[in-house]
Amino acid sequence: MAANATSTSPAIGVAATLDWPEILKTAVFAAAITFLLAISIVGVETQSGPGGLTLSTRFPEVAIAVVGVFFGSMALSLIRGGYPVPAMIGAGLVTGVLLVVLVLEAENPSLKYLLPFQAVVIDWGAVIIPAIICVRAAQVAWRARRQATGAGDTAIGIQIGGLARRLMPWVGLIMVVVAIALPWLPFGSSQRKIIDICTLVLTYIMLGWGLNIVVGLAGLLDLGYVAFYAVGAYSYAMLGANFGWSFWICLPLAGIFAASFGVLLGFPVLRLRGDYLAIVTLGFGEMVRIILINWWWVTGGPNGINKVARPSFFGFTFERTAPEGHRTVYDLFSSVFGQEFTYNPYWRVVFLYYLILACALVTNVFTLRVRRMPLGRAWEALREDETACRALGINPTNTKLTAFAVGAMFAGFAGSFFGARQGFVSPESFVFIESAVILAIVVLGGLGSQVGIVLAAIVLIGLPELFRELKDYRMLAFGMGMVLIMIWRPGGLLAHRDPTIRLPKDPAKPKSPA
């Protein structure tokens, strides 16, 4: 394969002679591959018409992609070959020109013909690629210069890493403070939208923290986590609808149901090897969804359950007027603070936000504490080596089962919150892709890293939500983002693990340990 012929790079900074035929061969190969990839799926468009499918062509796009890949491959070869500067200049020029045209085009649509693709979003995507090449080339060039002048940059890297590690506990604290202050920060008209997005992100953070117990700590690959989320949401919705129980009674019940469900499903399958467990949990997830759709006389079928009771502030409703025998939260606050409060829909938003923040923090505190318990350590030991665990007298089945059940319980809590926030539940909220997204958050965050999960949830959920205008392209970028982040940091964003216990200084021996 020609493409990996260039992967053996000479020492950077050494002016190597470039193997032009090889570079050209690689570029032509890459361009040919691009051509074959694009020619039918991109080059021919199928449109549903009244008389069946009609075809139209998109050959200019194919041509641009092929040419772009050709030069991109050359640029990469140059960087690998020790000549990052020309690549940097070339890629920089392309980026600059595209950017200028894109910006001008916003004012003056007649310039559209200068853009490579018809969809502006794709054009922006097309800017990113030369920009990345340019940055990469600059980085390589800079490193080469530093090496030439004798200053290694690895030391700086280690210093930054060490600093980040020492700051980590503070980062967590600052995040909590910011999260608490968030509803009171002046965002103007977009405030409600921001709080909504943050509520969503926090839901995923909580789910991520819950799944982290199963995947990150116990090392059990669960691809059907969303099933427990669904069980939580439906238990809350059904208990609330059928018995009229309040959110505060249903929340723990939903957690207990989800946990029992986890035990029930987990018991037969937890002795399976990792990948088999993954596929079986995936199957369970799908089965739960299918049952939710088809067991319509209980679950409401594809339409789900509407009119799920909204949570109250410990019995005080957020509605404009309270039902018979109840009071609104505005009355309560008015009487407590001696100041007149009237109906304000933002209150419910803020309340839900704090509710999920509290739930998520409980999950986090639980995880942090349980990691220092024998149970948590047994989970991690099981992840590292199950055979050794058995030789130490640890019951693998029970230990796995607790991890599965606890993870499921937190998904159940999150699910009942989800139902309460939405006001309705339906099976389409619990598709496989949700499980995949939650798993992606856990793995991208760096298995077992609590702060990493927060970062990953913000990147994977928050950013796409902010750019909702890109709606169709969102999932495309999401998928590619997962691949790229994994390649960039296979261990996740924050892969560092701190021991759960450190050896205290021996009081008997005053001399400090080496």
Partner 1 sequence: MSMAAPQPQTAVDPLLRVEHLSMRFGGLVAIDDVSFEAPQNQITAIIGPNGAGKTTVFNCLTGFYKPTIGRLTLNAPHGRFLLEQIDGFRIAQRARVARTFQNIRLFAGMSVLENLIVAQHNKLMRASGMTLGGLFGFGGYREAERQAVELARDWLDRTALTAHADAPAGSLPYGGQRRLEIARAMCIDPVLLCLDEPAAGLNARESHELNELLLRIRDEHKIGVLLIEHDMSVVMGISDHIVVLDYGRKIADGAPAAIRQDANVIRAYLGEPEHEDLPSAVAADIEKRGG
Partner 2 sequence: MEYFLQQLINGLTLGAVYGLIAIGYTMVYGIVGMINFAHGDIYMIGAFNALICFLVLGVAGITWVPLALLIVLIVSVVLTSVYGWSVERIAYRPLRGQSRLAPLISAIGMSIFLQNYVLLLHGARGKPLRAPISGGFTLMEHDGFTVQLSFVQMGIIGITVLLMLGFTYVITQTKLGRQQRACEQDMKMASLLGVDINRTISVTFVLGAGLAAVAGMMVTMYYGVIDFYIGFVAGIKAFTAAVLGGIGSLPGAMLGGLLIGLIEVFWSGYFTVEYKDVAAFSVLVLVLIFRPTGLLGRPEVEKV
Q: Which is nearer to partner 2, 72 or 311 (CB)?
A: 72
- Binding part of the chain for partner 2, among 163-171, 280-288, 369-377, 500-508 by CB under 8 A, reads 280-288
The single-letter code of the amino acid at 280 is V
Shortest distance (Å) from residue 406 CB to partner 1 = 10
Q: Are 332 and 316 in contact (CB under 8 A)?
A: yes
Q: Which stretch binds partner 1 (CB under 8 A): 126-134, 283-291, 414-422, 496-504?
A: 496-504
Out of 322, 381, 440, 494, the residue judged to bind partner 1 by CB under 8 A: 381
- Measured CA to CA, the distance from residue 317 to residue 321 in angstroms comes to 8
Q: Per CB under 8 A, which region of 137-145, 263-271, 322-330, 500-508 contacts partner 2?
A: 263-271
For position 166 contacting partner 1 by CB under 8 A, the verdict is no
Q: Which is nearer to partner 1, 3 or 392 (CB)?
A: 392
Q: Which two tokens stand for residue 333?
A: 């606050």
Q: Is residue 153 within 8 Å of 96, Cβ to Cβ?
A: no
**Cβ pair 430, 227 in contact under 8 A:** yes
Half-sphere CA count of 379, side-chain side, radius 13 A: 26
Report the C-alpha gap between 403 and 222 in whole angstroms: 11
CA distance 326 to 342: 16
Q: 410 exposed, middle or buried (CB, 10 Å; 0-12, 13-18, 19+)?
A: buried
Q: What's the rounded Cα separation, in Å, for the pair 453 and 438?
A: 10
Q: Name which of 201 and 443 has its Cβ closer to partner 1.
A: 443
Cβ pair 439, 427 in contact under 8 A: no
What does the block give as tokens for 430?
Answer: 């619990």
Site for partner 2 in 196-235 (CB under 8 A): 215, 221
- Rank residues 172 and 301 by Cβ distance to partner 2 and give the closer one: 301
Considering the complex, state which of residue 244 and residue 490 has its C-beta at the smaller distance from partner 2: 490
# residues near partner 2 by CB under 8 A: 63
The string of DSSP letters for 202-228 reads: HHHHHHHHHHIIIIIIS----S-THHH
Q: Is 275 in the site for partner 2 (CB under 8 A)?
A: yes
Residue from 388, 475, 476, 484 binding partner 1 (CB under 8 A): 388
| Least distance to partner 1, CB of residue 397, Å | 9
**Alpha carbon 459 to chain centroid, angstroms:** 6
Q: Tokens for 272?
A: 């399976």
Residues 347-376 binding partner 1 (CB under 8 A) are 366, 369-370, 373-375
| Distance of closest approach, residue 256 Cβ to partner 2, in angstroms | 24
Among 9, 190, 303, 500, binds partner 1 (CB under 8 A): 500
Handedness of CA 200, 224, 259, 219 (dihedral sign): negative
Indicate which of partner 2, partner 1, none lies near residue 165 (CB less than 5 to 8 Å, by partner kind): none
Is there a contact between 300 and 427 (Cβ–Cβ < 8 Å)? no
Shorter beta-carbon distance to partner 2: residue 68 or 491: 491
Residues 132-171 vs partner 2: string with x where CB under 8 A?
A: ----------------------------------------
What b/e string do you get for 102-128 counting C-beta neighbours within 10 Å, with b at 16 or more? beebeeeeeeeeebbbeeebebebbbe
Query: Per CB under 8 A, does 482 bind partner 2?
Result: yes
Question: 146 vs 496, which CB is nearer to partner 2?
Answer: 496
Long-range contacts of 481-484 (CB under 8 A, 24+ apart): 482/440, 482/444
Check binding of 469 to partner 2 (CB under 8 A).
no
Tell whether residue 158 is a contact of partner 1 (CB under 8 A).
no
CB of 45 to partner 2, least distance (A): 7
Closest approach, Cβ 64 to partner 1, in A, equals 47
Task: Decide: 416 and 247 in contact? Cβ < 8 Å.
Answer: yes
Q: Which residue among 150, 393, 490, 510 contacts partner 1 (CB under 8 A)?
A: 393
DSSP 462: I
As a whole number of angstroms, the distance between CA 32 and CA 227 comes to: 44
**Which distant-in-sequence residues (6+ apart) come within 8 Å of 60 by Cβ?**
none
Query: Which of 104, 385, 467, 479 is in the footprint of partner 1 by CB under 8 A?
Result: 385
The whole-angstrom separation of Cα 319 and Cα 322 is 6
Distance, in Å, from the CA atom of 453 to the CA atom of 265, rounded to the nearest integer, reads: 26
Whose structure tokens read 């361009």? 31
The count of chain residues that interact with partner 1, using the rule CB under 8 A, is: 34
Residues 31-50 that bind partner 2 (CB under 8 A): 33, 36-37, 39-42, 44-48
What's phi and psi for 54, nearest 5 deg?
-115, 155
Length of the chain: 514
Among 291, 332, 463, 466, binds partner 2 (CB under 8 A): 291
Chain residues that interact with partner 1, rule: CB under 8 A: 366, 369-370, 373-375, 377-378, 380-381, 383-385, 387-396, 402, 497, 499-504, 506, 513-514
Chain residues that interact with partner 2, rule: CB under 8 A: 1, 3-4, 33, 36-37, 39-42, 44-48, 52-53, 55, 215, 221, 268-269, 271-276, 278-280, 282-284, 286-287, 290-291, 293-294, 387, 432-433, 436, 439-440, 443-444, 447, 472-473, 475-476, 478-483, 486-487, 490-491
